[in-house]
């Protein structure tokens, strides 16, 4: 049994839970973080001194950092297609996985989503939102072209790159702001929604995160 500590509304917990479900793993998730609290206890800090979610426990292994958790789970339990064991086959998928985290998540989630949903309008940093939206208009066409060419972000099959990128899309398509035209990402998002693990773990309402006046 795998244990995941972290609330289901966290965009860092969601790809871990989505991957566990795709891999058919037996997993128990605990509500920690946000309004649930529990990240500043000595027990939690012993698992993650950063006091952040997710934390994964698998037998005698305890670890944090969602991207590292994804790589561990896919290496330990995944089929080769999700995370090839051969370094050369894995390299480009890994590159797009990091690209999605360092660019799309950083720009969209932390600048656009946080400001529009988790920050009261009176405290909103308009310049930050504008820079996030500008970045999104540069980044999403890059992903759109990549998906048009290959079918998936990492390559011709689903890979961890799609977990890191795909998990952002529910918020991306439901928060109100002007999005670039990306027909291939639109179709890719529709395909992701055909997967029950995606619907169950990546399409989680963020109403409980919305602050009054946002
Ligand atoms: N780089 C870390 C970031 C972890 C992180 O910032 N988690 C957020 C939730 S998305 C958190 O713990 N926030 C405090 C809280 O929810 O109480 C990862 O990818 O796991």
2-77 and 87-200 agree in CATH topology = no
Residue 112 and residue 129 in contact, taking contact as beta carbons nearer than 8 Å: yes
Question: E strands of the chain, at which residues?
Answer: 2-5, 27-30, 55-58, 61-64
Is pLDDT of 80 > 90? no
Is the minimum distance from the CB of 191 to ligand 1 under 6 angstroms?
no
- Cα distance from N-terminal residue to C-terminal residue, the chain: 39
Please count the other Cβ atoms lying within 10 Å of the Cβ belonging to residue 30.
16
What's the chain's length in residues? 214
Ligand 1 centroid to residue 51 C-alpha, Å: 8
Ligand 1 centroid to residue 90 C-alpha, Å: 26
pTM for this model (two decimals): 0.97
Specify the DSSP class assigned to residue 30: E
Residue 165 and residue 100 in contact, taking contact as beta carbons nearer than 8 Å: yes
Residue 153 and residue 146 in contact, taking contact as beta carbons nearer than 8 Å: yes
Sequence spans of domains, the chain: 2-77, 87-200
Rounded Cα–Cα distance for residues 120 and 123 (Å): 5
Of the candidates 146, 192, 151, the residue with the CA atom closest to the CA atom of residue 170: 192
Is pLDDT of 81 > 80? no
Residue range 95-104: mean pLDDT, rounded: 98
pLDDT of residue 42: 98
Pseudo-torsion of CA 106, 111, 112, 113, nearest 10°?
80
- The β-bridge relationship of strands 2-5 and 55-58 is antiparallel
Ligand 1 centroid to residue 6 C-alpha, Å: 9
Is the minimum distance from the CB of 33 to ligand 1 under 6 angstroms?
yes
Is the minimum distance from the CB of 78 to ligand 1 under 6 angstroms?
no
pLDDT of residue 115: 97
Is pLDDT of 201 > 90? yes
Of the candidates 153, 17, 155, the residue with the CA atom closest to the CA atom of residue 86: 155
Ligand 1 centroid to residue 52 C-alpha, Å: 5
Structure tokens at 209: 């995160």
- The domain 2-77 is placed in CATH, from the list 3.40.30.10, 1.20.140.70, 3.30.300.10, 3.40.50.1000, at 3.40.30.10
pLDDT tens, position by position, 163-189 = 999 999 999 999 999 999 999 999 999
Ligand 1 centroid to residue 46 C-alpha, Å: 16
Is the minimum distance from the CB of 168 to ligand 1 under 6 angstroms?
no
Indicate the average pLDDT of the chain. Answer: 97
Q: Which CATH class is domain 87-200?
A: mainly alpha
Rounded Cα–Cα distance for residues 147 and 176 (Å): 24
pLDDT tens, position by position, 115-130 = 999 999 999 999 999 9
**Res. 133 pLDDT band, cuts 50 70 90:** very high
Please state the atom number of ligand 1 nearest to the C-alpha of residue 52.
Answer: 12
Rounded Cα–Cα distance for residues 93 and 209 (Å): 31
Q: Which helix (H) or strand (E) holds 160?
A: helix 160-166
Q: Probe ligand 1: pick from 6, 7, 12, max atoms within 8 Å of CB?
A: 12
């Amino acid at each position: 049994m795998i244990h995941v500590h972290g609330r289901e509304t966290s965009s860092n917990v969601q790809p871990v839970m989505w991957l566990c479900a795709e891999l058919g793993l037996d997993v128990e998730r605990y509500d920690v973080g946000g309004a649930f609290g529990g990240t500043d206890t000595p027990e939690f800090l012993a698992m993650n001194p950063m006091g952040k979610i997710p934390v994964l426990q698998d037998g005698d292994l305890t670890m944090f950092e969602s991207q590292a958790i994804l790589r561990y789970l896919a290496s330990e339990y995944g089929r080769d297609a999700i995370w090839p064991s051969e370094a050369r086959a894995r390299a480009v998928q890994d590159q797009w996985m990091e690209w999605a985290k360092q660019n799309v998540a950083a720009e969209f989630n932390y600048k656009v989503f946080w400001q529009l949903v988790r920050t009261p309008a009176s405290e909103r940093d308009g310049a930050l939102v504008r820079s996030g939206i500008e970045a999104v208009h540069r980044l999403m066409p890059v992903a759109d072209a990549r998906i048009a060419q290959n079918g998936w972000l990492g390559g011709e099959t689903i890979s961890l790159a799609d977990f890191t990128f795909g998990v952002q899309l529910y918020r991306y398509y439901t928060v109100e702001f002007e999005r670039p035209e990306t027909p291939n990402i639109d179709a890719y998002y529709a395909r992701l929604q055909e997967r029950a693990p995606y619907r169950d773990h990546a399409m989680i309402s963020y109403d409980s995160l919305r602050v009054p006046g946002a």
